[in-house]
Chains A and B, each alone.
Chain A
Amino acid sequence: NAGVTQTPKFQVLKTGQSMTLQCAQDMNHEYMSWYRQDPGMGLRLIHYSVGAGITDQGEVPNGYNVSRSTTEDFPLRLLSAAPSQTSVYFCATSGRGLGHSNQPQHFGDGTRLSIL
C-alpha cells in the first residue's frame, strides 16, 4: 500500500519549459489537492478536486492547470515555467468518512522544483 506517490522527487527546468507533476493514490480517496510550500509562507492551496471530472481553484492557481480523469490520479501541469514557481509541491488526498465527518489529508513526500 503506497498511499500517495509523487513523481518526480526533484526536477530542474528552464524558464518557459513545460512539465507535469504526477500524483497517484491507491486509497480510493475522493478528494485530492495540490499545495506549494515556500519558506516562511506555509503551504498554499493551488487546485483541488472533489472527484473525477471535478476540479476547482485554490488560493494560488495562476500558472497551473489540473485535470482529474480518474479517482487515482491528479496531475499538476506547468505550461510555461517561471522562476516564481520554484517551490516544493505537495499532493494530498482524503476520503469521506462516516457520518459526513471528512477525514484529514494524507500528504505525499513532495516534488522539489527549481526553475532557472
Chain B
Amino acid sequence: AQSVTQLGSHVSVSEGALVLLRCNYSSSVPPYLFWYVQYPNQGLQLLLKYTSAATLVKGINGFEAEFKKSETSFHLTKPSAHMSDAAEYFCAVSHSGGGADGLTFGKGTHLIIQP
C-alpha cells in the first residue's frame, strides 16, 4: 500500500519569501512522486515529477523538489513567492509511474500569498 501525507492544509507566505510545502510518502516499492497545482475551478497541472533519474527535480514556474529516501520526503520549494502562486498543491505517489493504475494523492495544501 502507498500513502501521502501533506503537512499543513494551509500555508501562508509573504510575496518574495521562500515557499516550502511538505510531503511525506509511504511506499513498499521505489516510488514515482509528483507535485500538481490546481487553480480555482480548474483541473490539475503537473509541476514536476520524480522518476529516480535525479534526486533534485526542477519543475515549471520556478518550483523544485528534492527526493530524500532516508526521510521518505519530497518537499516542494520556490525561492521567491509570487502572487500568481496562490493555489492548491497536491503531492501524489505511484509505484507504476503514474499512469497504469492511477495516483494516490495527499489531501492538498492551500498556498496563500500575502502582499
- Cβ A96 vs Cβ B104 within 8 A: no
- On whether the beta carbons of B44 and A107 are closer than 8 Å, the reply is yes
Q: Is A74 engaged at the interface, CB distance under 8 Å to the other chain?
A: no
Shortest A83–chain B CB gap in Å is 22
Q: CA separation between A44 and B115, bound complex, in Å?
A: 33
Classify chain A: how many residues form its interface, as a range: 20 to 34
Chain A residues contacting B94 (CB-CB under 8 Å) are 102
What's the nearest-Cβ distance from chain B to residue A3, in Å? Answer: 10
Binds B, one of A12-20, A35-43, A62-70: A35-43
Chain B contacts with A in 81-115, Cβ cutoff 8 A: 90, 92, 94, 96-108
Decide if B77 is an interface residue (CB 8 Å cutoff): no
Asked if B42 CB lies within 8 Å of chain A CBs, one says: yes
User: 1/0 per position for A53-77, CB-CB distance to B under 8 A?
Assistant: 0001011000000000000000000
Known: A40-B9, A40-B107, A43-B90. A102 touches B96 (CB 8 A): yes
Beyond A94-B99, A105-B102, 13 additional pairs, beta carbon < 8 A? A30-B99, A31-B99, A31-B100, A42-B107, A50-B101, A56-B101, A59-B104, A97-B97, A102-B100, A103-B99, A105-B98, A108-B43, A109-B43
Q: Which A residues contact B (CB, under 8 angstroms)? A: 4, 29-31, 33, 35, 40-45, 48, 50, 56, 58-59, 90, 92, 94-97, 100-110
